């Protein structure tokens, strides 16, 4: 689906701008954010993405070595989403989902199963649990301080409420910040 990559890029830029995208500083890794976006897109009433491991176990067996996963998308059965949401609606929905619907203290995000499941003792007392689809480890394990977790949750909430009220991406991700960040990389 053509909306997936731009949505991931916007989420990563938003998270970086708000300083919640740096695992070395106790916040979310880029990989955790990507899996959070994919999970959200899988769990919509009209999903944008399927669970490849659940729907196509012959191609994506969770026990298979990562090197055995097909590199060519031509070997994967096609999926056509009936979801017609715009990129902006999906981004707002992503923020809403993690602000008002997702139960951080109770659930593990699973892209592998396109759902959530209850945290068990094996997940420890981590604040954010995002299952790596092939090895089952927590890719959000860097978030181990309560203060950092609160900052992440607060940023989701503040951004959601601000974007919902103003319906202007500049309210939470000023273009000036994006341009400055891009020019610093050069």
* Range in 3-12, 70-79, 109-118, 128-137 with the lowest mean pLDDT: 70-79
pLDDT, position 175? 80
Residue 42 and residue 64 in contact, taking contact as beta carbons nearer than 8 Å:
no
CA–CA dist 44, 64 (Å, integer): 28
pLDDT band, very low/low/confident/very high, at 169 (cuts 50, 70, 90): very high
SS3 64: coil
As a whole number, mean pLDDT of residues 61-75 equals: 62
- C-beta of residue 160 within 8 angstroms of C-beta of residue 167: no
- Contact between 95 and 159 (Cβ < 8 Å): yes
Summarize the confidence of residues 115-123 as an average pLDDT. Answer: 93
Mean pLDDT score across all residues of the chain: 89
pLDDT at position 70: 60
Confidence of residue 100 (pLDDT cuts 50, 70, 90): very high
Model confidence band, residue 60 (pLDDT cutoffs 50, 70, 90): low
Q: What pLDDT score does 93 carry?
A: 98
Task: Give me the percent of the chain exceeding a pLDDT of 70.
Answer: 83
| Per-residue model confidence (pLDDT) at position 54 | 73
Q: What is the mean pLDDT of residues 105-111?
A: 96
Highest CATH level, class, for 4-64+80-185: mainly alpha
Residues 10, 86 contacting (CB under 8 angstroms): no
For residue 75, pLDDT over 80 is answered with no
- How far apart CA 37 and CA 97 sit, in angstroms, is 10
């Amino acid at each position: 689906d053509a909306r997936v990559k731009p949505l991931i890029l916007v989420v990563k830029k938003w998270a970086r701008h708000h300083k919640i995208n740096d695992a070395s500083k106790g916040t979310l890794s880029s990989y955790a954010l990507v899996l959070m976006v994919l999970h959200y897109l899988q769990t919509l009433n009209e999903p944008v993405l399927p669970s490849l491991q659940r729907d196509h176990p012959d191609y994506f067996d969770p026990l298979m070595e990562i090197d055995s996963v097909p590199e060519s998308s031509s070997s994967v059965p096609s999926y056509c989403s009936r979801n017609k949401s715009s990129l902006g609606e999906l981004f707002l929905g992503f923020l809403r989902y993690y602000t008002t619907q997702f139960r951080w203290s109770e659930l593990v995000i699973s892209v592998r199963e396109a759902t959530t499941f209850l945290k068990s003792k094996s997940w420890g007392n981590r604040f954010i649990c995002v299952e790596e689809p092939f090895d089952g480890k927590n890719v959000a394990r860097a978030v181990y301080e309560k203060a950092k977790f609160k900052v992440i949750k607060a940023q989701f909430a503040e951004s959601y409420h601000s974007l919902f009220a103003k319906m202007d991406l500049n309210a939470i991700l000023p273009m000036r910040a994006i341009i400055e960040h891009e020019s610093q990389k050069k």
